[in-house]
Amino acid sequence: MLEKYTVNPSVNISGSICVPGDKSISHRSLILLSISNGIGVISGLLESDDCMATLKIFKMLGVTITKNINNTYTVHGKGLNGLKKTNNDLDCGNSGTSMRLLAGLLAGQKFNSSLVGDESLFKRPMERISSPLKMMGANITLSKNNTAPILIKPVKKISGIDYKMKIDSAQIKSSIILASLYSSEETNIYENMPTRDHTENMINFLGGNIIKSENIITINPKNKLVSKDIDIPGDISSAMFIIVGCLISKESEVLIKNVGLNKLRTGGIQILKMMGASIKIINKKTYGPEIVGDIVVKSSLLEGIDIPDKYIASAIDEFPILFIAAANASGKTLLKNAKELRFKESDRLLTMSNGLSECNIRNRLTEDGIEIEGGNFTGGTIDSYGDHRIAMSFAIAGLISKKPITILNTKNVSTSFPGFYNLIKDMGLNIERGNV
Ligand code: S3P
């Protein structure tokens, strides 16, 4: 049975809220504390399906991770070489981050491992990580379509490499960084466009030695990481659904507290500001290795823009909801050079274009982008193709739709934003959940 949402015309959304913990930082905290020496407590861990897949994998690899009564998690680190072999497949579910980061980490272990996932993850490209990992000496095999399952065997030596990124991707970068923790040689990664640097920040926070200058990331050998407690801020990518919901609502104001504001994650905010959004950051402070703050948003009249290439990498997960903002703006919004969106949990250019067309929003799909003309949502039935961000984007579009929007295949919302349904309903969205 498939889960669905039906959203009926609503007045607006408002309130003072928090969003769940950052998905990228949650994965990294579980991974890095598992291979550190000592005990670390994680506060604010995102308890989503994706992060729970990572947590379960480390338990299978012999790491003790316990949930405490105050909802924090304690990770008993095993050190860089303390993980244990399992004969079972390591199931990453829907999570590309788990699969790609763990492939790098497992390349340096002294045992075989096999990474698998769900139907969507089995279709996603993996050659992008196996190629640099093989350059480092890893023994890694993909399916004949260059997808999962990923089989990894131990090797005598992981070598340092000089690697120029071919795709702007934090997952590829992080996979290389995690493998390089098992090398006694230096690795240099050259980025064209900087991508989220949570892996680098957290490794340095735990005593590692990664130096970043201009577009070069140098990972210096270090024989151990030392556990520390990690506080995870709210996920800006989840906050963006609330932000756009407020912007397109009438007479609305929302405060979102304690959101991660790493500058390599806030391209979506910059894009919305260019479109005329009223978004203010208050109470900004550093929080462990990251920056956090509170976000104040007010309903705004948005204008279409040409989205600058420089914001693409730092807004990569936000495009589905940014397209809803564009559909509500006056004039046209143009996105180019964003072909990567075709390789996410769904082909996000295609699924968004189909959904917008279904709601009578004019758009023109290109190979690497989309042009969207502002208009009026007339309602309709949208297939999210099991992509959490597509499902949540069209739920938010329901705020301004003249007729109901039904969204099919919404179960995967829990991969990144458990509690989305209850939160958005409490904020005023007229949403119902059901089965097809
Ligand atoms: C992520 C990196 C991005 C992003 C994903 C999370 C990460 O993927 O889309 O949701 O945590 O490193 P790419 O590296 O494929 O751009």
List the residue whose alpha carbon is closest to atom 16 of ligand 1: 169
Closest alpha carbon to 253 in 8, 78, 17: 17
Ligand 1 lined by 169 (C-beta under 6 Å): yes
Q: Which atom of ligand 1 is nearest to the CA of 174?
A: 12
375 CA distance to ligand 1 centroid (A)? Answer: 31
CA distance 410 to 160: 42
Of 304, 245, 250, give the one whose Cα is nearest residue 276.
304
Q: Whose CA is nearest to atom 10 of ligand 1?
A: 317
Please give the number of the atom of ligand 1 that sits closest to the Cα of 343. Answer: 15
- 317 in catalytic set: yes
Angstrom distance (rounded) from CA 236 to CA 62: 32
CB of 243 within 6 A of ligand 1: the answer is no
> What integer pLDDT is reported at residue 291 of this predicted model?
97
Q: What is the pLDDT of residue 214?
A: 84
Q: Which atom of ligand 1 is nearest to the CA of 173?
A: 14
Catalytic residue among 317, 383, 387, 426: 317
Q: Is residue 317 in contact with ligand 1, taking CB distance under 6 Å?
A: yes
Q: What's this model's pTM, rounded to 2 decimal places?
A: 0.98
Q: Is the minimum distance from the CB of 171 to ligand 1 under 6 angstroms?
A: yes
Distance 169 CA to ligand 1 centre (A): 6
In this prediction, residue 150 carries a pLDDT of 98
Task: Name the residue of 32, 101, 169, 346 whose CB sits within 8 Å of the most ligand 1 atoms, as the mutation to test its pocket.
Answer: 169
Predicted local confidence at residue 206, as pLDDT: 98
Which residues of the chain fall short of a pLDDT of 50?
A: none
CA of 264 to the centre of ligand 1 (A): 12
Ligand 1 pocket check for 24: Cβ under 6 Å: yes
Whether ligand 1 lies within 6 angstroms of the CB of 230 is answered as no
Which pLDDT score is estimated for 287? 84
Structure confidence at residue 302 (pLDDT): 98
Check pocket membership of 99 for ligand 1, CB cut-off 6 A.
no
